Structure 1
Amino acid sequence: MFRKFAIAAVTVATVATAAVTMTPNEAQAGNRRAGAIAAGAIIGLAAGAIIASQAQPRYYAPVRCHNQPVRRWDPYYRQYVVVGYRQVCY
């Protein structure tokens, strides 16, 4: 789970860095790029929301264990006797 998140974060950071380095000079851009910047911000927020929604903790069922007696036949007593215990988990 953390590996997916880390890969997605590195990918988003790489794309964002590449987009920032390829922007033209402010003198050439003027005000025509305001829509592109807003669209980039919206797409970035949407990508962040998708990545964050995938990073939810998973539910793990509790493990229940108990000790089960191990019985063996004892010919001296002519009955089953407990010789130990083993732990059984389910």
Structure 2
Amino acid sequence: MFKKIALSAVAAATLATATVAAAPSEAHAKNRAGAVAAGAIFGLAAGAIIASQAQPRYYAPVRCHYRPVTRWNPYYRQYVVVGHRKICR
């Protein structure tokens, strides 16, 4: 769900930036260094967000083992294995 929200936010911001960049005013035509720096920073941030969402997630493998189930046997006068229980982590 976060991926959809992030992608729609990036798309909206890109559209807004493209609209502002398409119609520059005369007052801001002389000094574009700040706009270029802001665009570069915004682009890097958007790229980092998209790249972090596009990576495959790592899931640890399920490790299972069998543990013996023991019961007291009065005939043998000791604990004996009567079965095994599968334990997964």
Shared topology, TM-score over 0.5? Answer: yes
Indicate if the aligned counterparts of 2:64 and 2:86 stay in contact, CA closer than 8 A: yes
8 A Cα contact 2:70 2:82, kept in partner? yes
1:65-84 Cα distance to aligned partner (Å, 9 max, x none): 11111000011332222222
Contact 1:72 1:81 in 2 (8 A): yes
Q: Using the alignment, how far apart are the partners of 2:69 and 2:16 within structure 1?
A: 66
Q: Which ranges in structure 2 are unaligned for 5 or more consecutive residues? A: none
**CA offsets, 1:27-58, max 9 Å, x none?**
x99xx6xx6xx778756643442123312334
How many aligned positions are there?
86
- Aligned partner of 1:54 in structure 2 is 52
1:77 aligns with 2:84: no
TM-score (norm 2): 0.56
Query: SS of the counterpart of 2:12?
Result: helix
Letter paired with 1:53: A
Q: In structure 2, what is the Cα distance between the partners aligned to 1:86 and 1:51?
A: 45
Shift of residue 23, structure 1, vs aligned partner: 7.7
RMSD between superposed Cα atoms in Å: 3.8
Structure 1 residues without counterparts, runs of 5 or longer:
none
Correspondence for 1:67:
66
Quick one: which amino acid aligns to residue 13 of structure 1?
A
